[in-house]
């Protein structure tokens, strides 16, 4: 029995659902939208829907993916469907015995157009057979937030490849390299050493460009002595890593060292004190207070971190307004930063797993120490 599907069925029963639809808002060509579908079924194709009931589990795919679904999702009954939901949904719901029953879906996985198709399809069914379509809580995301042992192994593999890629580029980079050159060297190394691809497009930001937390790399050449923010991640077997280091190519100036020390102190403080039972807001404030006391509170405007798994950004959230509660088995980032317009930025990020109530750091890439 697929234990993930069974856990979903338990949650469905708790919220009063007879069936649950799992899809993705768009075709998942880049593996960034269908994590719930993959988590439950193992299916890695770009399109398809799952339908889970108390006793059955279907995967509806078009002709392109029938054989792949049979191989990757052996716990699911394969239903060959057209590419348009409206042409087959009513038939599948009837086959699953859901006439007149409560069927949930995740609103984050459904566009307005898809929802309209679903409603139109169900309205065409006889009134007595028409299922009730309900927007459901994030049931699968809640399951995904707590990692299983095999997921932790895959995440650690992704972390290790990402660490190695960073160490490699930090040893070969020189003044005169462009930001894009650094990003390509990271991707090239990662793919040659076991990564399926990147978790996201690598951020490389030199000098004042680093004041933007999600700056995109340019053809601009890196100058000696300026801060360089590198935020990168790789995928291994579908699981992501996320790593940020800020370095200087050449000799660092006094301002860099002051800001770097503040950010490093904030990060190490959070890693030491974060614990199970804390809210995302409480975890965030561990680092924010250190930075604020040093006079840079207004320069740390993003959250402390986020969950990582099949997606590089997933539940839980560690941020100023987050009520998410940390639990053993959750994998999150700890990534405080300080950003000064016109000068640049410093961000330091590790991935940690909450284990025995405390944070165990998974990332091993070196940090500057003095």
How many structural domains is the chain composed of? 2
Q: What is the pLDDT of residue 19?
A: 98
Same domain, 131 and 263: no
Same domain, 120 and 98: yes
Q: What is the pLDDT of residue 115?
A: 95
366 belongs to a structural domain: no
Same domain, 252 and 289: yes
Q: What is the pLDDT of residue 226?
A: 95
Same domain, 206 and 119: no
* Domain containing residue 12: CATH number: 3.40.350.10
* Domain containing residue 160: CATH number: 3.90.230.10
368 belongs to a structural domain: no
Same domain, 150 and 139: no
166 belongs to a structural domain: yes
Residue 320 DSSP code:
T
Over its length of 370 residues, how does the chain's per-residue pLDDT go in tens digits?
599 999 999 999 999 999 999 999 999 998 899 999 999 999 999 999 999 999 999 999 999 999 999 999 999 999 999 888 989 999 999 999 999 999 999 999 999 999 999 999 999 999 999 999 999 999 999 999 999 999 999 999 999 999 999 999 999 999 999 999 999 999 999 999 999 999 999 999 999 999 999 999 999 999 999 999 999 999 999 999 999 999 999 899 999 999 999 999 999 999 999 999 999 999 999 999 999 999 999 999 999 999 999 999 999 999 999 999 999 999 999 999 999 999 999 999 999 999 999 999 999 999 987 5
- Last residue of a domain, which of 128, 144, 160? 144
Q: What is the pLDDT of residue 361?
A: 98
- Last residue of a domain, which of 87, 121, 144? 144
Same domain, 189 and 332: yes
pLDDT for 162-181, tens place per residue?
999 999 999 999 999 999 99
Residues ≥6 apart with Cβ < 8 Å to 189: 164, 165, 168, 169
Residue 193 DSSP code:
T
Same domain, 110 and 159: no
Q: What is the pLDDT of residue 83?
A: 81
Same domain, 131 and 46: yes
- Last residue of a domain, which of 111, 144, 177? 144
What whole-number distance in Å separates Cα of residue 14 and Cα of residue 138?
Answer: 13
Q: What is the pLDDT of residue 1?
A: 57
Question: How much of the chain, in percent, has pLDDT values that exceed 70?
Answer: 99
* CA within 13 Å, CB half, 120: 11
Please tell me the chain's helix, strand, coil percentages from 3-state DSSP, rounded to the nearest 5. Answer: 40, 25, 40
Same domain, 121 and 160: no
Same domain, 83 and 168: no
What whole-number distance in Å separates Cα of residue 81 and Cα of residue 90?
Answer: 11
Helical H runs in the chain? 3-15, 35-41, 66-72, 89-95, 112-123, 139-145, 149-172, 179-192, 254-273, 280-293
Side-by-side strand order, sheet with 197-198: 197-198, 234-236, 239-240
Same domain, 99 and 134: yes
pLDDT for 111-126, tens place per residue?
999 999 999 999 999 9
370 belongs to a structural domain: no
Core vs surface per residue 176-203: b (16+ CB within 10 A) or e:
ebbbebbbebbbebbeeeebbebbbebb
Give the domain extent around 62.
3-144
Same domain, 82 and 179: no
């Amino acid at each position: 029995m697929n234990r993930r599907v069974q856990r979903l069925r338990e949650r469905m029963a708790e919220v009063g659902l007879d069936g649950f639809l799992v899809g993705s808002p768009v075709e998942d060509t880049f593996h960034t939208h269908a994590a719930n579908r993959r988590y439950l079924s193992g299916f890695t194709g770009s399109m398809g829907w799952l339908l889970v009931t108390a006793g059955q589990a279907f995967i509806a795919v078009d002709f392109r993916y029938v054989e792949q679904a049979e191989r990757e999702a052996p716990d699911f009954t394969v239903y060959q469907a057209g590419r348009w939901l409206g042409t087959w949904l009513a038939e599948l719901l009837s086959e699953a015995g859901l006439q007149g029953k409560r069927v949930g879906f995740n609103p984050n996985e459904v566009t307005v157009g898809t929802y309209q198709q679903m409603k139109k399809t169900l309205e065409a069914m006889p009134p007595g057979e028409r299922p009730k379509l309900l927007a459901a809580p994030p049931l699968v995301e809640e399951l995904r937030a707590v990692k299983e042992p095999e997921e932790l192994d895959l995440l650690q593999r992704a972390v290790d490849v990402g660490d190695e890629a960073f160490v490699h580029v930090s040893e070969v980079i020189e003044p005169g390299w462009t930001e894009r050159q650094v990003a390509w060297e990271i991707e090239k190394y990662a793919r040659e050493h076991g990564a399926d691809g990147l978790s996201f497009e690598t951020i490389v930001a030199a000098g004042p460009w680093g004041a933007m937390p999600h700056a995109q790399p340019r053809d601009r050449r890196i100058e000696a002595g300026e801060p360089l923010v590198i935020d990168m991640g790789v995928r291994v077997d579908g699981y992501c890593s996320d790593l940020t280091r800020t370095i200087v190519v050449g000799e660092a100036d006094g301002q860099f060292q002051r800001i770097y020390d503040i950010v490093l102190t904030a990060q190490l403080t959070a890693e030491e004190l974060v614990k199970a039972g804390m809210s995302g807001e409480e975890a965030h404030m561990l680092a924010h207070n250190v930075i604020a006391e040093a006079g840079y509170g207004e320069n740390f405007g993003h959250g402390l971190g986020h969950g990582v798994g099949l997606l590089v950004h997933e539940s839980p959230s560690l941020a100023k307004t987050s009520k998410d509660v940390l639990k053993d088995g959750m994998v999150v980032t700890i990534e405080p930063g300080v950003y000064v317009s016109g000068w640049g930025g410093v961000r330091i990020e590790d991935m940690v797993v909450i284990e025995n109530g405390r944070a165990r750091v998974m990332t091993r890439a070196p940090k500057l120490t003095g």
